[in-house]
Structure 1
Amino acid sequence: MGFCRWLFAVTPETKPRRARAHWRRRSQWLAVSTFALLASAKTVFAEQGAELSLQRIGSGNPVAGKQKSADERCQECHGEDGNSGDVRIPSHAGQYAGYLVKQLSDFKSGARSHEIMNVMAADLTQEDMADIAAYFASQKVMRGDRIADNPLAKNLFVNGDAARDLPACASCHGENGKGKIADNVIYPVIGGQRRVYLRSQLTNWKLGERKNSPEAVMNKVAKSLNDDELNALVEYLSGL
């Protein structure tokens, strides 16, 4: 259920008298949580525009997702605001909700393997996934701190390499790697992502240890990169 529909679907008039005290307490918590979330999301909407922000958030309830992401201990690793404090763990701030739901579903089904995430996703419902993803997606989009330009990586990102049938990263992941939705395909945010995590995932794509991209496109891309290119891209992308 979408955020606005969820917010107004239940009212005190639909509850028996003995439940109204509980409703008042819940309403107070919801009002405070909603106000805080909308205040923090104001910058996101201003920067991206309402339509893109709603695309990014998806159909989940970000208020419920904030509580669920705390209860399910997502915030312990990925950060309360979706910015990971560990270089090995991905940030989710401003990531497309649909992409996060896809990854959680793949962890749950085993299509993507990770000793911790397979366990964490095992008992999540689709509603849980949508809500948690909506919360992280509602945060300000992750951003790196570029130290210096890297001509090799920038050229691959912007232009690719036609001689090797290597597409430009930007053609899928958008300007500055902030992701996009095109032809019903969600291309995730990679600009500003954690450096060590990016390296591990590109390496896993290259070795075939991760295989859950549409039509195995990331396996093909990663296999075309030599070690110098892969490392250069990691440094470049993490700084965007």
Structure 2
Amino acid sequence: MLRVSSLFAALILSVSAVQAAEPGKAPTVDLAKGKEIMQQCVACHGADGNSSATIYPKIAGQHAEYLYKQLQNFKVAPGADKALRENAVMAGFAAMLSDQDMRDVSAYLAAQKQTLGQAQNKETLALGEQIYRGGIAEKKIPACAGCHSPNGAGIPAQYPRLGGQHADYTAAQLVAFRDGVRRNSEQMTAISLKMSDKEMKAVADYIAGLR
């Protein structure tokens, strides 16, 4: 999930703060501050964003724009009854972060290198590959690769990196979209509603091995 870490490395070189060349076009981010904030996330996500527990996502190397949006979505927006993503732990954490904090930690994580993963279930590998690369025509489910790219790199600011992600986490998110617990992507909600548990687990396992 194009490697954002390479982009950030090229931009920051040896400094800890990055600013767009054109003032006002993009906010300044402080990677040193982002690293400091990340210390609060170590228990679940690891020091560098590579979680060891499969129920927690790897967030190292994820697109900064995507991470920033997710942190926003854990907060209850003005006038809303509940957050677009419901998670008691993340809601509490996000509530403590300012907008600048969210940008800083997102930029820091995007600059980290994600560890590789691998598919575990040989019996469902073919099904997972079929769904990811070709979709499910009879259910009008599009290929995941169309948005998340053939190698799972995603598209910065639009679609998240998926490749190498823990299968347990990916499958859980598909269920969350289907069950309405996660409501921050109408596209993913519509897709997940058409998928069986077997299909979700198969494609999640296949995604874990993408690189």
Query: What TM-score results when the alignment is normalised by the length of structure 1?
Result: 0.70
Match of 1:96 among 38, 58, 63: 63
**How far did residue 222 of structure 1 move?**
0.8
Aligned equivalent of 2:44: 77
Aligned equivalent of 1:205: 177
Per-residue displacement from partner, 1:12-67 (whole Å, max 9, x unpaired)? xxxxxxxxxxxxxxxxxxxxxxxxxxxxxxx9429x9948xx9xxx8522222111
CA contact 1:142–1:191 (8 Å) conserved in 2: no
Where in structure 2 are the equivalents of 1:35-54 lying within 5 Å?
Answer: 44-45=5-6, 50=10
Q: Distance in 1 between matches of 2:197 and 2:167?
A: 15
Unaligned runs of 5+ in 2: 12-17, 19-25, 77-82
Q: Distance in 2 between matches of 1:66 and 1:211?
A: 29
Could you tell me the percent identity over the aligned residues? Answer: 37
Q: Distance in 1 between matches of 2:10 and 2:177?
A: 34
Match of 1:155 among 125, 130, 133: 130
Match of 2:35 among 40, 62, 66: 66
CA contact 2:9–2:111 (8 Å) conserved in 1: no
Aligned equivalent of 1:190: 162
Residues 167, 142 of structure 1: alpha-carbon distance in 2 compared, 3 angstrom cutoff? farther
Aligned equivalent of 2:141: 166
Residues 44, 119 of structure 1: alpha-carbon distance in 2 compared, 3 angstrom cutoff? closer
Q: Quick one: which amino acid aligns to residue 126 of structure 1?
A: D
Match of 1:123 among 96, 114, 130: 96
Match of 1:177 among 149, 152, 166: 152
Aligned equivalent of 2:23: none
Q: Distance in 2 between matches of 1:108 and 1:207?
A: 19
Unaligned runs of 5+ in 1: 1-42
Per-residue displacement from partner, 1:112-139 (whole Å, max 9, x unpaired)? 1101111111121110000001111101
Residues 117, 44 of structure 1: alpha-carbon distance in 2 compared, 3 angstrom cutoff? closer
What is the Cα-based RMSD across aligned positions, in Å? 2.4
**Aligned length in residues:** 185
**How far did residue 143 of structure 1 move?**
2.3
Greater than 6 Å deviation, 4+ residue runs: none
**How far did residue 161 of structure 1 move?**
2.5
Q: What is the SS of the residue equivalent to 2:54?
A: coil
Q: Greater helix percent: which structure?
A: 1
**How far did residue 84 of structure 1 move?**
0.4
Q: Distance in 2 between matches of 1:131 and 1:142?
A: 21
Larger Rg: 1
Q: Distance in 2 between matches of 1:204 and 1:140?
A: 27
Which one has more relative contact order, counting CA pairs under 8 Å at least 6 apart?
A: 2
Q: Quick one: which amino acid aligns to residue 160 of structure 2?
A: P
**How far did residue 142 of structure 1 move?**
4.0
